[in-house]
Amino acid sequence: MKFPLVLALSLLATPSLADWQQTLDAARGQTVYWNAWGGDARTNAFIAWVSEQTETLYDVSVQQVKLTDTAEAVTRVISERTAGQDTGGSVDLIWINGPNFLAMKEQGLLHGPFVGDLPNARYLNLGPTSPASIDFTVPVEGLESPWRLAKFVFTYDSARVAEPPRSMADLGAWVAVNPGRFTHPDPSNFMGSTFLKQALIELAPDASVLQQPVTDAGFAAATAPFWDWYDALRPNLWRGGETYPENQSVQQQLLNDGEVDIGMSFDPASTAAAIADGLLPDSARVFVPENGSIGNISFVAIPYNAANAEGAEVVANFLLDPAAQAHMQNIEVLGSFSVLDPSLLDDAAKAAFAALPTAPSLPTVAELGPTLLEPHASWMTRLTAEWARRYTK
């Protein structure tokens, strides 16, 4: 078991203010190259806001490196290690999740543990089973710092769909009646694989095995009903399941164009945000599977060879500031739910969250239903590989 070790490490890394002052001093004047997916204009604008704030407060500026895919940043760090560039690397901070985190952690490509050193980490629930401590069942061990909450939701156009399907079994029936009106992003994209995982959790005979690393026998048993369901679903998908949108944003565009009736997102507020931006019709709404949906936390990590690691820590800490989190949760800004534990906040911070504006297409926390744990990362790799083997001919 790794837990005692983690505990020991986190005790050792208890923040002392003197250490943090050293970090702040070292960070002064640094420019942090934050590698983050750049396909969402609101996220890009939020990162620009973060840069303004950290520049004023700490003399640290943030430069977003807009990625088409997070793995680009991982590849970059690997190229640098291949070339022997173990310091002064070009990537300072990565918006990272799941398999990319696992890959970097296993290859020893991450700086840290550093989360325990961040003063604002005191607002986080870092208990061993908290979502902030486990990324896709992989223990975080202080190597990445949370910044925004993600939860799987469907988006639909209420003007076209009266009663959306509330479970994967219902979805199968709905698609059979409405052929060509549903699809999911390509499983090589994380949103596409999340959809498959959500279906697997709902359809697996015993979902608890998904929390353990996958085995050959276990995989066959757990996925058999899923493949039956998917084989029936696929011919009735958009374009006969021959091609898939590249990611959820492209699918949102299809929803806006009326090519499909249902979209999906990992951000419950994205629908309200898209309506405000004129990217979805006013009648767009959110629904979640009735038995709960997969949720996780988006993290930021620092590569082992980052040129501006101190600045990156300052930015990671700023992202956890209650005022910054409330600003982020504002639907008019980004609308991403906060990662802070409400019970750890002081009254002023609580009031800031309570005062945030709302919108008809913005679900309440109660409407979002229970959060299901991500399966072990090995399941996702196996599931998407098997999907490709079956359907990529």
Q: Which of residues 239-268 bind other proteins (CB under 8 A)?
A: 239-240, 242-247, 249-250, 252-254, 256-259
The verdict on 350 binding other proteins (CB under 8 A) reads no
User: Contact region for other proteins (CB under 8 A) — 113-121, 222-230, 277-285, 316-324?
Assistant: 277-285
- Dihedral sign for Cα 127, 130, 131, 134, please: positive
Q: Which of 39, 139, 218, 225 binds other proteins (CB under 8 A)?
A: 39
User: Contact region for other proteins (CB under 8 A) — 142-150, 214-222, 234-242, 312-320?
Assistant: 234-242
CB of 283 to other proteins, least distance (A): 11
CB of 331 to other proteins, least distance (A): 17
Return the number of the residue (170 or 246) whose C-beta is nearest other proteins. 246
Site for other proteins in 137-176 (CB under 8 A): none
The 3 state secondary structure assigned to the chain is CCHHHHHHHHHHCCCCHHHHHHHHHHHCCCEEEEEEECCCHHHHHHHHHHHHHHHHHHCCEEEEEEECCCHHHHHHHHHHHHCCCCCCECCCEEEECHHHHHHHHHCCCECCCCHHHCHHHHHCCCCCCCCCCEECCEECCCCEEEEEEEECEEEEECCCCCCCCCCHHHHHHHHHHCCCCCCCCCCCCHHHHHHHHHHHHHHCCCHHHHHCCCCHHHHHHHHHHHHHHHHHHHHHCHHHHCCCCCCHHHHHHHHHHCCCCEEEECCCCHHHHHHHCCCCCCCEEEECCCCCEEEEEEEEECECCECCHHHHHHHHHHHCCHHHHHHHHCCCCCCCCCCCCHHHCCHHHHHHHHCCCCCCCCCCCCCCCCEECCCCHHHHHHHHHHHHHHHCC
The verdict on 388 binding other proteins (CB under 8 A) reads yes
Q: Which of 48, 173, 176, 224 binds other proteins (CB under 8 A)?
A: 48
The verdict on 308 binding other proteins (CB under 8 A) reads no
Site for other proteins in 7-36 (CB under 8 A): 33, 35
The verdict on 54 binding other proteins (CB under 8 A) reads no
Q: Which of 141, 144, 186, 310 binds other proteins (CB under 8 A)?
A: 186
CB of 346 to other proteins, least distance (A): 34
The verdict on 360 binding other proteins (CB under 8 A) reads no
Spatial distance between the Cα atoms of 247 and 245, rounded to a whole number of angstroms: 6
Site for other proteins in 62-121 (CB under 8 A): 63, 65-76, 78-85, 90-91, 98-100, 102-103, 107
The verdict on 392 binding other proteins (CB under 8 A) reads yes
Number of shown-chain residues binding other proteins (CB under 8 A): 71
Return the number of the residue (180 or 218) whose C-beta is nearest other proteins. 180
Q: Which of 274, 288, 320, 326 binds other proteins (CB under 8 A)?
A: 274
The verdict on 50 binding other proteins (CB under 8 A) reads no
CB of 101 to other proteins, least distance (A): 9
CB of 7 to other proteins, least distance (A): 29
Return the number of the residue (265 or 293) whose C-beta is nearest other proteins. 265
- Residues sharing a CB contact under 8 Å with residue 162, sequence separation 6 or more, in sequence order: none
Strands 93-96 and 31-37: parallel
The verdict on 371 binding other proteins (CB under 8 A) reads no
